[in-house]
Copies of this chain bind each other. A is one copy, B any other.
Amino acid sequence: MLDQMKQTGRWDSLKLQWKSGDPNPPHRFWDSDIAKWLEAACYILTLQPDPSLAAQVDEAVDNIRNAQHEDGYINTYYTVVEPGKRWTNLSWSHELYDAGHLFEAALAHNLYCQSRRLLDPLLKYIRYIDSVFGLREGHKAGYPGHQELELALLKGYEQIGDKSLLVLANYFLEERGQPRPQGHYFDVEAEARGEAPNPGPSPKGAPKYSYHQADRRVRDMESIEGHSVRAMYWLTAVSNLARVTKDESLLEAAERLWDSTTKRKMYVTGGLGGMSEWEGFGPDYVLPNETGYLETCAAIGLVFFAYQMLLIDPRRTEYADILERTLYNAVLVGVSLDGKRFFYENPLATVGKLYERSAWFDCSCCPPNVARLIATLGKYVFTVGADDTIYVHLYISCTAELTISGGKRITIVQQCNEPWNGGAKISINGPDAHRMKFSLRKPLGAEDFKVYSEGINISSLELNGRVETYMTGGILTVDFAYSARAISPHPLVLDNRGCIAFMRGPFVYCAETIDNPQIKDLRAIRIIPGRTPREFVEKREFSEWGLDPIVLKVDAIILEDGVRKEDEVTLIPVCLWANRARSDLRVWLPSLLPDEGLA
């Protein structure tokens, strides 16, 4: 990834040597690419030392420090490409978005090495931003065109306790979509640039301003609309603010938009964005398979949002359920098994073997975003509640150090059979270990969920998908099994009419051409209703990457070239597709209808 960053000119762009007329001008969003790489690198260094990576981090930090103006401003594009145009185009320029990612990188750098070499310059930049924006006389009443700074400010507030960060985040979140007598801020600034106001409604329903989630105040919003990545970053900040301020109406808005997102606009994989025309949400239940967008970054944003909701109410299992579903499907499918190639879009069906992952993109938000998510995966496994309850959300093998009341540190070791088979053993060390309360989540698709404490089955304590118990013997054993299950589509999702999908545990499965060479077009598959899928551990070509995934075989009629034949269709987890060859995938498979006859 660093290679691509260097080859494309991103890495050196912060040295501010580009001159008007030179080829390859820095883009508006390049700072964010470097920042996300830097953030990921710092989190990786927190987990394990790597002197060569650390040297690259130092260089990036130096470049950012040297790019800072006297007044605190940092932005490559507006320094070398359009100097003098600062803050003239919030709606489309990504200027505050870049600032947000730089601040997130500074927070990660501070965590990794306790140094303030990057944090202090970024806090200076934030103070400068605070001096520019707001409702006071002489300030710009604007807010980010691509949300991101908001969540970074709140993360900063929670990490370093600086209340001015909370105040600025609150301003951006409260002002967004506020009706103002002088007109919508995005029109006011467009007029100041001598341009026409923001374009009007698209005929297909991305109404004015709602592409940016800026058509009304969040408290007045009933449905999530517009660009999916913007929406998810924003709702992450909204729910974070609601938790921090305990504002009831903001919390209600967050819950309402959570429901809108996950109950009416989400694909079975956790993917978001049915409308490729604006990389975002369509009307409720419009989830086309071949033409959907399902941007990898939108799925990452949904993980962030789910995490904030889970911190608000860790007992409500739907938050961790969606987080787990999205992580194992919509996020993981975005990266190849060798970690080097990426999907930007992730439709649930393809035709013509046209898709393959790329090492890089012109607009390359997804690769470093995947990197920083994977590098911080640990935080989604356990969370600590206000009463020091340890919430176990994901069964991923790890050793975790958690901080509880009074700054005490405890160590938890979790050993799991995941992801192909259920079960985990959780042990805890520390002086207060025996007094800790655990809340153990029944994972997605788990069967026979049992929890044993000192050998005693305490599963009868299960309430709403969680078992809560005190740790008495230092070890808790969790047992559960997975088996393949068939999923029916929501009746209003006509894109999946008469179709069926398969899951096993958290994984959504798909047919991939390479595993079904006898079928020319995957659309010819008709699953025979009522037959049980068979499970096999198949090494196939996946053993190259150390994987022995469980593969499903289902009975189907193949209707091809006017011939009907019964055959077995092989299914693999969606996240594994497109690793072995150019191929097609299909998640929702037609089931045999009565007028097609039974086998």
Contact = CB atoms under 8 A, between A and B. Distances in A.
Interface of A: 201, 203-205, 207, 274-277, 282-286, 288-291, 343-345, 347, 349, 351-352, 354-355, 358, 491-492, 494-495, 497-499, 521, 523-524, 559, 590, 593-594, 596
Q: Interface on chain A toward B: helix, strand, loop, or mixed SS?
A: loop
A493 to B, nearest CB: 8
A345 B351 CA distance: 24
22 contacts: A203-B344, A204-B291, A204-B347, A204-B355, A205-B352, A205-B354, A207-B354, A276-B276, A276-B277, A285-B351, A288-B290, A291-B291, A491-B523, A491-B524, A491-B559, A491-B596, A492-B521, A492-B524, A494-B499, A495-B495, A497-B498, A498-B593
Contact of A291 (B275, B491, B497, B593): B275
A585 to B, nearest CB: 13
Contacts of A290: 282-283, 286, 288
Contact of A201 (B274, B276, B354): B354
The CB with the most chain B CB atoms within 10 A, among A285, A288, A343, A345, is that of A288
Contacts of A352: 205, 283
User: What 10 A-B pairs come out closest when comparing CB atoms?
Assistant: A498-B498, A283-B351, A205-B354, A497-B498, A283-B352, A288-B288, A492-B523, A286-B290, A497-B497, A276-B277
Contact of A288 (B203, B285, B291, B497): B291
A487 to B, nearest CB: 14
Contacts of A491: 523-524, 559, 596
B286 A351 contact: yes
A278 B204 CA distance: 15
Contacts of A289: 494
A112 B207 CA distance: 44
Given A276-B204, A497-B590, A523 B351 contact: no
A283 B584 CA distance: 12
Nearest to A290: B286
A288 B289 CA distance: 9
A25 to B, nearest CB: 13
Nearest to A593: B498
A272 B26 CA distance: 39
Contacts of A499: 494, 497
Nearest to A347: B204
B285 A523 contact: yes
